[in-house]
A and B are shown apart, each in its own frame.
Chain A
Amino acid sequence: MGKRSVIPFGPQHPVLPEPIHLDLVVEDEKIVEAIPSIGFVHRGLESLIDKRDFNQLTYVVERTCGICSFQHGMGYCECVEHIFDVEVPRRARFLRTIWAELSRMHSHLLWAGLLADAFGYENLFYQCWRIREKVLDLHELTAGGRVIFSVNKVGGVIKDIDEDKLKVILDTIKDIEKELKVISKTFFKDYSVQSRLKGVGILTPEQINALGAVGPMARASGVSNDMRSLGYAAYDEIDFEPVVSNDCDCYARCYVRIMEIFQSIDIIRQAIDKIPKEDELAAVIKGNPNGEYFMRLEQPRGEAFYYVKANGKPNLQRMRVRTPTFANVPALCEMLKNTEVADVGILVVTIDPCISCTER
């Protein structure tokens, strides 16, 4: 056994997009243990239940994350809607599906760019983020904001997407699909990309199960689990299968996310094809919620958990968000064992960490 030493990694590091700290216990260049620390940007959003009523909280939870903002709002609203036992109008459910998949595309393209940047492929980074801009333009066109949408409300949505805008979405995702096919070849076939990702950061399905990892992390290790299968929003009317890889390494995690962008394009096309022409945008909500519910949904980074408990008053008794990164940190620490220090940056990026989400 070589001499052990500890290398502090983060919370600020050139390759880290988010403030997580890892104490890396190393023997020579090999990592034998990684001890995580978070808590640098804790905001206490959940404690705002005392100051904001259940309707206002929709806008609070949207600010949990700047990347999956829409999905946080949707997850919270669906959770409260379950407590009210209210049926959301069908058009609103399809609109939520379209916005959710646009968010997934934007998140995965952002991540793909960060990954390319982490392994030093700057052209690929620029290309990913250039394409991502087109998705952000669609956000702005349909919701008015590029980051925070503010279109959800308990009972449905507050904005519609008219026929002209739906056509713009279809035209834009067609362009994105064409361009994505070109850059996906680089991600999947390029020798230098493969040499950095293949066989690195192996997580077996047994480890995934033991550590409770979620989302593309789990699916890249052969675990076919996608919360969209629960049928929330309009996913019960959409035909899709979880994207799964059995390679269990960083390359597999890249493959799953890139293929999920293509899947999102397909889902948006299905949703636009099936969306009812005329319908209400929101159900009428009377009174205050009374009860509790555990809501699960598939955010770009994986399963998010919303828990709401209410006692018939405007202010909730408890609102809890468990974000996907919170669930994936133990898997990250396991994955880091027996890897080289030089791979740490890429390994951290392949879980697509969102620590701001995690800290809430």
Chain B
Amino acid sequence: MANTVNPKYEIEEITVDNLVSRSEELIKSGYRFSQANAAYVDEKFELSYSFSNYDNYDLLNLRLVIDTDTEVKSITEVVPAAVFYENEMHELFGVNIVDIALDYKDRLYRIKKECPFGPDKKEEE
């Protein structure tokens, strides 16, 4: 029989003030950064930062719900691998992420339209 695992799967709601510190805690406790993504839902941004564990496959998603103009400090100082993800959220959605270690200045994807996944797009429709 297969040696399958039964990992934890959680969504933990956090605030913009403890995003960096919580990310650092997770990295120090053996988690690795898996992904980050944004969604524009009910006129707010929902940011999800996912961390998982190589050994037991646990998945913990940090969930941040913010107004569209809220400033979010980048986690790249504690999670260098988040560079592409945060640039993507900024460029495609217009999430106001500051202090990204390597800021592509909206040129990660070389697209003409500004924030094509963000609030303006929804308003146009």
For residue A95, give the distance in angstroms from its CB to the closest CB of chain B: 17
Query: Given A230-B7, A235-B4, are A50 and B125 neighbors across the interface (CB < 8 Å)?
Result: yes
Question: Could you tell me the distance between the alpha carbons of A39 and B91 in the complex, rounded to whole angstroms?
Answer: 11
A318 to B47, alpha carbons, bound, how many Å?
12
CB B112 to nearest CB in A, in angstroms, measures 11
**Interface contact A230-B1, CB-CB below 8 Å:** no
The answer to whether A359 and B109 touch across the interface, beta carbons within 8 angstroms, is: yes
Give the interface size bracket for A toward B. 35 or more
B35 touches A327 (CB 8 A): yes
Pairwise interchain contact A322-B37, C-beta atoms closer than 8 A:
yes
- Decide if A305 touches B34 in the complex (CB within 8 Å): yes
* A8 at interface by CB-CB < 8 Å: no
- Pick from B14-22, B54-62, B65-73 the stretch touching chain A: B54-62
Check if A309 sits within 8 Å of B39, measured CB to CB: yes
Query: What is the 8 Å Cβ interface bit string for chain B, positions 102-124, against chain A (1 contact, 0 not)?
Result: 10100111110000110001000
Contact among B9, B37, B84, B107 with A307 in the assembled complex (CB-CB below 8 Å): B37
A47 to B118, CA, bound (A): 10
Main secondary structure of the interface of A (DSSP, over half): mixed
Residue of B nearest to A303 (CB): B34
A224 and B2 CA atoms in complex are apart in Å by 15
Q: Is the CB of A296 within 8 A of B81?
A: no
A25 at the interface (CB under 8 A from B): no
A42, chain B: closest CB distance, angstroms: 4
Given contacts A229-B4, A294-B50, contact A39 B84 (CB under 8 A): no
Please name all residues of chain B whose beta carbon is closer than 8 Å to the beta carbon of A305 when the two chains form the complex: 34-35, 50
- B61→A294 contact, CB < 8 A: yes
Give chain A residues whose Cβ lies under 8 Å from the Cβ of B41.
Answer: 309, 317-318
Q: List 23 A-B contacts (CB under 8 A).
A: A38-B84, A39-B109, A42-B110, A46-B117, A47-B121, A50-B125, A210-B81, A212-B33, A218-B54, A227-B57, A229-B57, A235-B4, A237-B2, A240-B2, A240-B3, A305-B50, A307-B37, A307-B48, A318-B41, A322-B35, A327-B35, A329-B84, A330-B84
- Having A42-B110, A47-B117, one finds 18 other A-B pairs with CB under 8 Å, namely A37-B104, A39-B109, A39-B111, A46-B117, A209-B32, A210-B80, A212-B81, A231-B2, A236-B4, A237-B2, A239-B3, A240-B3, A294-B48, A305-B50, A307-B48, A320-B37, A320-B39, A359-B109
